[in-house]
Amino acid sequence: MPAAVKRLLVVNGPNLNLLGTREPEIYGTTTLAEVEAMVREHAARMGCEVTCFQSNSEGALLDFLQREAPGSSGIVLNPAAFTHYSYALYDCLKALRIPVVEVHLSNLHARAERERFRSRSVTAPAAAGVITGLGPKGYLLAMEYLLDRDE
């Protein structure tokens, strides 16, 4: 029997809908639609399915993850500012028991020199790992990890 096609979720949190115009000196000029197009092309190349989702609302992110994660093989998550304070998102990721890679476009450690709150991720302990500072390519690398992972 052929192996089942794997499905990944690529989830973006608040203000990432503004990519392209939001602080381009930090986040670049690539829009969210362009990032998602790169993600879909990469999924097609790797022979997996992908569902992309973005919300500015913590509740909507939780509802999406609780609904869609069962049956998926992994989650690429940029929690945006929720990274720094959402225990609800942390609890959700722990409850789902599906591998998560946390992705940040910017380098949180470099930014923490000026904005200390960025040095702490409350969600990262629930993730397999974190990619930070590699721009949109971080999402593609996270997808590769989740598809290659043995489990």
- The site for ligand DQA (CB under 6 A) is made up of 15, 78, 80-81, 83, 104-106, 108, 118
- Is the Cβ of residue 14 or residue 128 nearer to ligand DQA in the bound state? 14
- Collapsing DSSP to helix, strand or coil, 72 comes out as coil
Which residue in 27, 42, 90, 139 is the catalytic one?
A: 27
CB of 70 to ligand DQA, least distance (A): 25
**Least distance to ligand DQA from the beta carbon of 45, Å?**
23
Active-site residue identified among 42, 90, 104, 139? 104
Residue 132: which H helix or E strand, with range? strand 129-132
Comparing CB distances to ligand DQA, the nearer of 42 and 118 is 118
Q: Which is nearer to ligand DQA, 6 or 64 (CB)?
A: 64
What is the distance between the alpha carbons of residues 109 and 119, in angstroms, rounded to a whole number? 6
Q: Is 139 noted as a catalytic residue in this protein?
A: no
Contact 97, 33 (CB under 8 A): no
Tokens of 52: 């992309």
Taking phi first (over 0 means left), then psi (-120 to 50 degrees means alpha), and beta for anything else, what does residue 71 get?
left
From CA 23, how far away is CA 18, in angstroms rounded?
9
* Cβ neighbours for 30, distance < 8 A, ≥ 6 positions apart: 19, 20, 135, 136
Q: How far is the CB of 135 from ligand DQA (least distance, A)?
A: 9
Min dist. Cβ of residue 78 to ligand DQA (A):
5
85 is catalytic: no
Which residues are annotated as catalytic?
27, 104
